[in-house]
Chain A
Amino acid sequence: MPNSHLRLAALAVLLSAAPAVAAEQYDASLGPAPLNDAMRVDMAGHGRITVTLDGSTLSFEGSFDGLHAAPTNAKLIQGLGIGVPDAKAKVADLTVSGDASKGTLSGKVTLSGAQRTALRTGKLYITVGSAKYPDGNGMLWGWVLPAHERAADDEPQQGHWFLPNIDVPKK
């Protein structure tokens, strides 16, 4: 076999043995969107959404409860920063269902390169709307952040603990 064929064969073996890029894990803790005391009667609930980036595909799966109103829509939005919303910058609609007390959320979104960067720098967030708050910040919202260990009840955490401003890349 000529040398060039041998080199090509070796390269093929190397490529086939290279591991696939691992999926990136994120999650979003959902809580009430910004509110004052008067709005609290309509905005309540908590949940957790598991978010996985595989290549360019971002997948969502999760649930929430403790609502005071049924969910009517869900969106993925790109904000200006972690905790800094920009309701006009919708990335995609997500699928939501539920009743006046609880619901589920799912979806798959194909992200552009810029949107993947936004994901990795904590700019993407989820909103869940209701009939009274269908747009803007919605009824519930939560930022999509790298998956991290949660603080256990009544148990102190030793050493450094997850802080988005320190542990989420800025670029």
Chain B
Amino acid sequence: MMSRKHLALAGVMLAGGSMLALAQTLVPAPYSEAQATAGRAAYAANCASCHTATLAGAGEAPALAGANFMNAWRGRTTKDLHDLIHASMPLGQGGSLSDQTYADVTAFILKANGAKAGTTAFSAATAPVRIGAIADGTKPADLAAAPRSPARPAEPGAPTRYGMMLEGHIGAYENVTDDMLAHPKDGDWLMYRRNYQGWSYSPLSQINADNVDGLTLKWSWAMNDGGASQITPIVHNGIMFLSNTHNTIQALNAVTGELLWENRIGPASPRGYAGTRSLALYQDKVYVATTDARLYALDVHSGKIVWKTDIADPAAGFSETGGVMTIHGKVVVGLTLCRGQAPHCYISAYDALTGKQAWKFTVIALTGTPGGDTWNGIPDNRRAGGETWIAGTYDPDLNLTYWGVAQAKPWMRSSRGTKAAAALYTSATVALNPDDGKLKWYYSHAPGENFDLDEVFERTLIDENGEKDLVTIGKVGILWKLNRETGKFLDYKETVFQNVFKSVDAKTGYPTYRDDVVNSKVEDWLAACPSPAGGRDWPATSYDQPNDLIILPLSQSCNMMQGHAVDPNSQEIGTAGSEQVFEMPGTDGNMGRLSAYSVKDFKPVWSFQQKSPFLTAVLSTGGGLAFVGDYDRRFRAVDVKTGKTLWVTRLSTVVQGHPVAFAVDGKEYIAVPTGLGGGSPLGKPTTMLPQLHHPDHGNALFVFALPEKMH
């Protein structure tokens, strides 16, 4: 009879034999263990801020390990993986690391997917090996056991000190009231697009078509680098409030650019969606939502924190970058990076004095709730997306606030399992009562959305012939007009080439997708014009009220998109899509298109096209001008009636963000940020316009005005 010792050994040998048998089903991978160790450190330093320490992915940064990674990469080779990383990563800085680093990171990713190390290090010259032959998505024990949403490491170069850097002592300050927000003074810029209606229009006219060619730089201010900077300067009482990346808020003298206070609230932001698009003012406080989904009220005089509250559990991996607004003593804010984790995406409101939550409206209709039956029956924990990337607008007379909701995730319906279902309230306009968050009406712009073509941007409120309208344009580039009292569809207009809808019902606005989209399956490559850069993206439109023109910073590019299967057990629901981009037919490769349309009848008035896309909001003014900046570092003023360029200057890097106009002591100023980072709007031209170059640093603010003698 075998002794216990012998039995134990036999058991180990049997188990070991089984393990050996399993291991032998995968071909040894072309990397070394030492290289993977070096690659892990390189990954942590350069990649984890977007793809997370556990390679789970977040937002548009796909998973790099596990079943979802294997679904996308099983059939592709080690060379495909290495070459794509080398050419495109870090985001916006492809090719900036050493060749050795890219090879090491590739090795680490293979190891993180269960590939067994060989004896030879991987390099760009290594013969291609099919990833499915060497990896099976099995994560090493330490990565597999990590928490679902670990804190993402800070981007390299983030500030190392946080807290009150300079305490302010601002004296006289006129508190911002509800009446001031509803009727802002001409020289103020109190909120995201200046007024509750979202016009991005300033009535100031000192700078006009006759003298704009004399505009000169008055001061500039370097800002935190890193992350995505798409800011809006907020100005009141001659004080400019600025949000920097890495959750840093500053107050400056708007005339001289002198720093008055700085509070580095923190945390340091991960790369990508790292900066808030707008602040908000109310009474004697400035409000900011930070990238770890917290809401802060700062004292305008000193910059000190008055209160803070969690919008959502920061540990759950949510974020907030869309900006805030204040209505009737409440701070209203959205939520981003909603990847299926409870409690899903929502819009919420907080008492402006205390920070206590007043209400929340969940934008993902869950099972058993109104709209819950519009997800084709998929379980609640697979219902993801619905971010509110842009702060809303507000009608004081109707007492309704209007928000756009992003598309459902994953991007493609075949990956998502929702087929043509509307997946409410994604890809929709929602009208809410700001006092209690109750839904008044909704309108679904793109039921069964399939290509990351959001309908999430500002809802511009315009009264036309006694009718209360809402005008909005999403990534597809369709101008929509709704009645904002009822949500009734009124009109639509295509402003760029789009081929995702084969028709739009003229009576209801209901779009019908192309047949191949309707019949698509996982792994199908589908063409889409526009690409996820739009059409149009986050850069805001402007309603030039005196001329009844809506001026659109449009973008022209297309892509092929492939949807991948999503592991039903994965806790991270990302985009699950691969892309290849191409020039939009009929554009000669012009990615930038600035167009003006009559709001009354949606007739095109003028267009201006160029290779470089526009990456700022449009600012129109009472001086008959429209200001806009672009990827190729130009900031220009055009005649709002004809589109003719009247003044142009070249700044230090990509002109990105939201330009504003303000006045102090009777003098008008134009402020515009330069900024880097972000998703498709910056990513697509980086791929498609390699002949255009810009520094990969240089977030800053530039303020222009006329010389003294010219006014």
Answer whether A163 and B499 are a contact pair too, CB < 8 Å, given A40-B87, A85-B527, A156-B643.
no
Question: Which residues of chain B have C-beta atoms less than 8 A from A9's C-beta?
Answer: none
Q: Which of B94, B514, B582, B607 lies in contact with A37, CB distance below 8 A?
A: B94
**Chain A interface, >50% SS class:** loop
Is A154 within 8 A of B645, CB to CB? Answer: yes
Q: Tell me whether A157 and B642 are in contact (CB under 8 A).
A: no
- Which of the 9-residue segments A26-34, A53-61, A94-102, A107-115 touches chain B? A26-34
Task: Give chain B nearest CB distance to A133 CB in angstroms.
Answer: 12
Q: Chain A 20-59, CB within 8 Å of chain B: the 1/0 string?
A: 0000000001011111111111001010000000000000
Q: Does B176 contact A (CB under 8 A)?
A: no
A145 within 8 A of B: yes
Interface string of A62-86 (1 = CB under 8 A from B): 0000000000000000001111110
Give Cα A29 to B582, complex, Å.
Answer: 12
Which of chain A's residues has its CB closest to B494's CB?
A: A165
Is A10 an interface residue when CB atoms closer than 8 A count as contact? no
Chain B 70-113 per-residue mask, 1 if CB under 8 angstroms from chain A, else 0: 00000000001001101110000010000000000000000000
A163 — which chain B residues lie within 8 A by C-beta? 494-497, 586
Chain A proximity of B107: nearest CB distance (Å): 18
Find residues 135-166 in chain A having any chain B CB closer than 8 Å to their own CB: 141-143, 145, 148, 150-151, 153-166
Chain A residue contacts of B83, Cβ below 8 A = 38
Is B581's CB under 8 angstroms from A83's CB?
no
B498 within 8 A of A: yes
- The answer on a CB contact under 8 Å between A34 and B494 is no
Partner of B497, one of A32, A82, A153: A82
Q: Complex: how many Å from CA A150 to CA B84?
A: 34
Q: Which of A37, A142, A150, A160 contacts B687 (CB 8 A)?
A: A37
> Which among B580, B589, B645 is the interface contact of A36 at CB below 8 angstroms?
B580
Q: When the two chains form their complex, are residues B609 and A157 in contact, meaning their CB atoms are under 8 A apart?
A: yes
CB distance from A45 to the nearest CB of B (A): 11
Contacts of B494 in A (CB 8 A): 163, 165-166
Cβ contact within 8 Å between B497 and A38? no
B516 and A145 contact, CB distance less than 8 A? no
Q: Please provide the chain B residues from 337 to 354 with a CB less than 8 Å away from any CB of chain A in the complex.
A: none
* B516 neighbours in A (Cβ, 8 Å): 80, 84
- In the bound assembly, the distance between CA atoms of A160 and B496 in angstroms comes to 11
| CB atoms of A31 and B582 under 8 A apart | yes
B575 CB, nearest partner CB in chain A, Å: 14
Q: Say whether B583 faces chain A, with CB atoms less than 8 Å apart.
A: yes
Q: Are B606 and A35 interface neighbours, CB within 8 A? A: no
Chain B residue at smallest Cβ distance from A125: B585
Chain A CB within 8 A of B288 CB: no
CA distance A151 to B556 in the complex (A): 14
Which one, A38, A148, A159, contacts B88 given CB within 8 A? A38
C-alpha gap A41/B84 in the complex (Å): 11
Which residues of chain B come closer than 8 Å to A150, judged between CB atoms? 588
Q: A32-B582, A37-B87 are in contact. Are A158 and B527 (CB under 8 A)?
A: no
- How distant is B688 from chain A, measured CB to nearest CB, in Å? 8
A35-B687, A159-B605, A159-B606 are contacts. A82–B499 as well, Cβ < 8 Å?
Answer: yes
Out of B86, B589, B690, name the residue touching A46 (CB < 8 Å). B589
How far is B611's CA from A153's CA once the two chains are assembled, in angstroms?
A: 9
| B604 and A81 contact, CB distance less than 8 A | no
B593 to chain A, nearest CB (A): 9
Tell whether A35 pairs with B84 under 8 Å between CB atoms, given A143-B585, A156-B608: no
Name the CB-closest residue of B to A85: B527
Contact pick for A82, options B495, B585, B588, B607, CB 8 Å: B585
* A43-B529 Cα distance, complex, nearest whole Å: 20
Measured CB to CB, the closest approach of chain B to A148, in angstroms, equals 8
CA separation between A144 and B420, bound complex, in Å? 31
Beta-carbon contact of A36 and B687 below 8 Å: yes
B638 at the interface (CB under 8 A from A): yes
Chain A: interface size category: 35 or more
Q: Given A165-B499, A166-B494, A38 and B607 touching (CB < 8 A)?
A: no
- Across the interface, name the chain A residue whose C-beta is closest to B80: A38
* Chain B 357-386: CB-based contact to A (< 8 A → 1; otherwise 0): 000000000000000000000000000000
Residues of the B chain whose Cβ atoms lie less than 8 Å from the Cβ of A34 = 559-560, 580-582
Interface: B590 (CB within 8 A): yes
- Are A36 and B84 closer than 8 Å at their CB atoms? yes
Which residue of chain B has the shortest Cβ distance to A36 in the bound complex? B580
With both chains docked as a complex, state the minimum distance between the C-beta of A161 and any C-beta of chain B, in angstroms. Answer: 5
Chain B residues contacting A29 (CB-CB under 8 Å) are 583, 585-589
Most buried by A among B94, B587, B644: B587
Contact of B514 among A35, A84, A153, A157 (CB under 8 A): A84
**1/0 contact string of B481-524 vs chain A (CB within 8 Å):** 00000000000001111110010000000000010100000000
Most chain B CB neighbours (cut-off 10 Å) among A34, A39, A155: A34
Max count, chain A CB within 10 A of own CB: residue among B579, B606, B642: B606
Shortest C-beta distance, B6 to chain A (Å), equals 55
The residue on B at minimum CB distance from A166 is B494
Contacts of B84 in A (CB 8 A): 36-38
Q: Which residues of B contact A39 (CB under 8 A)?
A: 580
Interface assignment of B584: CB less than 8 Å from any CB of chain A: yes
What are the residues of chain A within 8 A of B87 when measuring CB–CB?
Answer: 36-38, 40-41
Please, which residues of chain A bring their CB within 8 A of the CB of B690?
40, 44
Q: Roughly how many angstroms separate A82 CA and B86 CA in the complex, as a whole number? A: 32
**A40–B691 CA distance with the chains assembled, in angstroms:** 12
Taking CB atoms and an 8 Å cut-off, the chain B residues in 235-279 that contact chain A are none
A89 → chain B closest CB, angstroms: 13
Residues of B615-641 contacting chain A, CB below 8 A: 638
Tell me the complex Cα distance, A13–B211, Å: 67
Q: Which B residue's beta carbon lies closest to that of A164?
A: B586
Q: Shortest beta-carbon distance, A23 to chain B, in Å?
A: 21
Q: How far apart are the CA atoms of A168 and B626 in the complex, in Å? A: 31
How far, in whole Å, are A33 and B583 apart by their CA atoms in the complex?
A: 8
Which residue of the partner chain, among B514, B581, B584, B605, contacts A81 with CB atoms under 8 Å? B514
Return the chain A residue nearest B590 by Cβ.
A151
Whole-angstrom CA separation of A83 from B579 in the bound complex: 15
Q: List residues of chain A with CB within 8 A of the CB of B579.
A: 36
A158 and chain B: residue at smallest CB distance: B606
B558 at the interface (CB under 8 A from A): yes
Bound-state CA distance A38–B76 (Å) is 13
**Nearest CB to that of A44 among chain B residues?**
B690
Distance from A153 Cβ to chain B, minimum over Cβ atoms (Å): 8
| Known contacts A31-B582, A40-B690, A163-B586, A158 near B642 by CB under 8 Å | yes
Most buried by A among B583, B584, B608: B583
15 A-B residue pairs with Cβ-Cβ distance under 8 Å, sorted by A, are A36-B84, A37-B84, A37-B87, A37-B686, A38-B80, A46-B589, A81-B502, A83-B558, A83-B585, A85-B527, A122-B585, A145-B586, A156-B608, A160-B603, A160-B604
**13 new A-B pairs (CB below 8 Å) besides A154-B610, A156-B638?**
A33-B582, A35-B580, A37-B84, A38-B84, A41-B87, A80-B514, A82-B529, A142-B585, A145-B585, A159-B604, A161-B607, A165-B498, A165-B499
Binding site for A on B (CB under 8 A): 80, 83-84, 86-88, 94, 494-499, 502, 514, 516, 527, 529, 558-560, 578-590, 603-610, 638, 642-645, 686-688, 690
The 7 A-B pairs of least Cβ separation, nearest first, read A156-B643, A37-B87, A37-B88, A34-B580, A38-B83, A31-B583, A151-B609
